[in-house]
Amino acid sequence: MIDSLVLGPPQYWGLTFVFSLLLLIAAVLLWVLGRLVDAPGPRLWGAAAVIVFAGMVLAGSQMQGTLPWQRGLYVLGDALLVLGIGLIGEGLRRFCGRRPSLAWVAILVAAQGALGLALEVTGQPLANSVATSVLITGLWLWIAWIAIRHTRRGFHGLFVGLMLCAIVEAAGWAWRGGILAAAGAGDPSAVIAYANAVLVAFAFVSTGALVLLYVLLVNFRLAEQLRAKAVRDPLTGALNRRGFEECTGRLASLSAELGQSVAVLMLDVDHFKQVNDEHGHHAGDLVLKALAQLVQRAKRETDVFARLGGEEFCLVLPGTDVPGARVFADRLRRSFETLEIDTGRSFLSCTMSVGVAYASATALRQGQVDVLDLLHQADEALYEAKRAGRNRVRFYASPDVVSSRLDSRLFASSSVFDTMGNGTRSRG
């Protein structure tokens, strides 16, 4: 029956040659992309493509061999296939942010190799190929599960495509296993050649799409990282002014819709020029990084933190009332005051001043104030905190702040009100 089948060794090697070129091109491409993008996974995919290529060539070259050493090489080729496909799945896990775990891949490869040798020694080459097919089918289904489980906003189509490609790969291996299991008596090498040719036909289609999807996935991640660098301060990791304006515009609208108040804090390191002059700019950078790390630990996920220039930082707190803003600002100030910053030669302590502006949900909804206004008001309050002696918190005395029960001694002393009820500051 096998003699009447169209697919056999010649067809297998023809498909294998083209498929090998595809794998090598994929390996080089993924390796290059892995050097460009700051994300685990692509390099592992490139290494996996090389390993799968080696396993496929090694197993394919010995599939018709009958000598013990030839069957041993065939088992080694299958083990490399299992290793390569396992690394594809592990690379996808890492790309999706999961912790690395290669131990299970090593255990799986060792188990497959031991089982394959045992079946070959006992004269069951078809059973060995069936077992390998079942194992790799399971691996591809696991990769499909990873893809659909870790899909994320903006990447849905790519992850669904990865899932479908993995399912096609699994179908190819399952078909191969079915052909081998149903073969019964006959020439094992001819059956394996036919089954492998069917498998390569499936793999050629799905792998081409799979490589394209992986390249698109890496490109999307690279674009994300480039955008993140464009909106973040490289020293502190806080948003820069561009990122701050993008986030706060959406945040103000959302807060108004949800009926939330907003507090804005301006933070400034006291005597920062003196720190640079006496300890060097490296020490100044360490101070700024220490302050940024302190704020990052203290803030909520919904808060917006930005470095607006020099030693000035801004923090926007949605859904925060006046007492809450006061407690948070003073806690930050006290924590920074007690912080000892290791400059490599000595320990340095600094203080900071904080200016706070606040607007109720009503004021935001009625358009009486926006985040840009609050930013200017918080800057005015910061100026007053500096003038009052530094290392303190001052509130801009807007109508919303004055109507609260905040101690008036915390108001910015030079804030007055115009006839429209908007806070203005006299610099005289």
The enclosing domain of 126 has a CATH number of 1.20.1070
Give the chain's largest Cα–Cα span. Answer: 102
Total structural domains within the chain:
2
Q: Are residues 12 and 67 in the same domain?
A: yes
Evaluate whether residue 236 is within a structural domain. no
Do the domain assignments include residue 282? yes
Cα–Cα distance measured from residue 263 to residue 200, given in angstroms and rounded to the nearest whole number: 62
Spatial separation of the C-alpha atoms in residues 220 and 36, rounded to whole Å: 12
Distance CA 393, CA 323 (A): 12
Query: Within this chain, do residues 153 and 33 fall inside the same structural domain, yes or no?
Result: yes
Strand order across the beta sheet in which 262-269 lies: 304-309, 312-318, 262-269, 352-359, 393-395
Boundary-marking domain end, from 231, 262, 297? 231
Please report whether residue 292 resides in a domain. Answer: yes
Q: Is the dihedral of CA 251, 256, 257, 259 positive or negative?
A: positive
**Cα dihedral 32→38→39→41 (10° resolution):** 20
CA torsion 70-74-75-80 (nearest 10°) is 140
Same domain? For 154 and 269 the reply is: no
pLDDT tens digit string along 184-197?
A: 656 666 777 778 77
In this structure, the number of other CB atoms found within 10 A of the CB of residue 121 comes to: 13
d(CA 202, CA 196): 10
Residues of the domain holding 257: 241-425
Residues 223 and 277 in one domain: no
Residues 143, 175 within the same domain: yes
Q: Which of 29-38, 302-311, 395-404, 411-420 has the largest mean confidence?
A: 302-311
- C-alpha to C-alpha distance for 26 and 202, rounded to whole angstroms: 17
**Where residue 32 falls among pLDDT bands split at 50, 70, 90?**
confident
| Residue 277 and residue 135 share a domain | no
The CATH number linked to 278 is 3.30.70.270
Regarding pTM above 0.75, the answer is no
Write down which residue in 204, 231, 258 finishes a domain. 231
| 245 catalytic per annotation | no
Give yes or no: residues 202 and 290 share one domain: no
Q: Which residue has the tokens 């005289």?
A: 428
**Domain for residue 391, yes or no?**
yes
Per-residue pLDDT tens for 136-161?
999 999 999 999 887 766 678 888 99
Of 110, 112, 114, 108, the closest CA to residue 132 belongs to 112
Are residues 218 and 267 part of one domain? Answer: no
The tens digit of pLDDT for each residue in 223-250 reads: 877 777 778 888 998 988 888 887 877 7
Catalytic site residue from 90, 169, 311, 384 = 311
Q: Is residue 265 part of a domain?
A: yes
Q: How many CB atoms lie within 10 A of CB 399?
A: 16
Same domain, 189 and 246: no
Identify the domain boundary among 231, 252, 270: 231
Please, which pLDDT band fits residue 426 given cuts at 50, 70 and 90? Answer: very low
From residue 52, give the alpha-carbon distance in Å to each of 127, 140, 155, 337: 21, 13, 26, 57
Q: Do both 255 and 222 map to the same domain?
A: no
Q: Are residues 213 and 267 in the same domain?
A: no
